[in-house]
Amino acid sequence: MRHAFDLSGQVAVVTGANTGIGQAIAVALAEAGADIAAVGRTPAEATADKVRALGRRIALIPADLGSIEPVPRIVSETLAALGRLDILVNNAGIIRRADAVDFTEADWDAVIDTNLKSLFFLCQAAGRHMIAQGSGRIINIASMLSFQGGIRVPSYTAAKSGVAGLTRLLANEWAGKGLTVNAIAPGYIATNNTAQLQADATRNRQILERIPAGRWGAPEDIGAAAVFLASPAAAYVQGHVLAVDGGWLAR
């Protein structure tokens, strides 16, 4: 009998798979048996080494998701290289910081285009293929700011709130067609992107005081959640934003 978390024979597209959370997701899916199409602005060579060491195939697909231009190519190159497309993980994202009164249109558009617009159209392109084959898993990477407002990141908050809404909408439309559409909202995860926060003794203490688990999350915590949502174990999970935050939102 197939194990509930077995992804053998599946192919997963992971955007932003070079480092950090994206790399951890790609490796976790490969550990569960999936082959990987790693999408990023630069080749995910370190990720490729880890995936190949697990005996899985990987295709490296260069693409800048600051526009939707590469979206059709991501799907076609995945199918050409790996023969299938079963799982899509929309992890790629950027952030811009400034007070709301000073925020520029350029910074607004850059974040919305990458984090929301390209995410939707990649869901659309993968979704068309998955609907035709009668099955598929889509996992969007949301944020604590899908639930909270934050400060000095207006376009990021708007985009990640939009990711949560799109996840629910797509689940409503596609659940009856054999797809699941869900999201993961990472809490404070120890990556290169949060290195400054970790190094700031005062801010680090404040963050840890709020997290009931008493520690920063690891990228592998998000990878494990992605395996769950991609697997047969989550077949009846739809339109859900799974907070992997050590209890941050519960405090």
Q: What is the pLDDT of residues 130-143, one digit of tens each?
A: 999 999 999 999 99
pTM of the model: 0.97
For residue 3, pLDDT beyond 90: no
Residue 4 within any structural domain of the chain: no
Token output for 83: 């023969």
Q: How far apart are CA 16 and CA 123, in angstroms?
A: 15
Amino acid 193: pLDDT: 81
Report which of 126, 135, 131, 141 is spatially closest to residue 37, judged by C-alpha positions.
126
Q: How far apart are CA 186 and CA 216, in angstroms?
A: 11
Q: What is the pLDDT of residues 142-180, one digit of tens each?
A: 999 999 999 999 999 999 999 999 999 999 999 999 999
Q: Is 156 a catalytic residue?
A: yes
Residue 5 within any structural domain of the chain: no
Residue 56 within any structural domain of the chain: yes
Query: Taking each helix axis from N to C terminus, what angle separates 154-174 and 118-133, rounded to the nearest 10 degrees?
Result: 10
Residue 6 within any structural domain of the chain: no
Amino acid 172: pLDDT: 98
Residue 144 within any structural domain of the chain: yes
Mean of pLDDT values over 201-208: 95
Residue 124 within any structural domain of the chain: yes
Amino acid 55: pLDDT: 98
Mean of pLDDT values over 28-55: 97
CB of 225 closer than 8 Å to CB of 187? no
Amino acid 197: pLDDT: 86
Measured in degrees and rounded to the nearest 5, phi and psi for residue 88 equal -125, 125
Residue 251 within any structural domain of the chain: no
Residue 231 within any structural domain of the chain: yes
* Residue in 156, 174, 228, 248 annotated catalytic: 156
CB of 17 closer than 8 Å to CB of 43? no
For residue 1, pLDDT beyond 60: no
CB of 67 closer than 8 Å to CB of 115? no
Domain that holds residue 137: 11-242
Separation in Å, CA 183 to CA 23, 30, 248: 17, 19, 17
Q: What is the number of structural domains in the chain? A: 1
Q: How much is the mean pLDDT over the chain?
A: 97
Whichever domain contains 32, its CATH number is 3.40.50.720
Token output for 190: 């120890």
CB of 57 closer than 8 Å to CB of 83? no
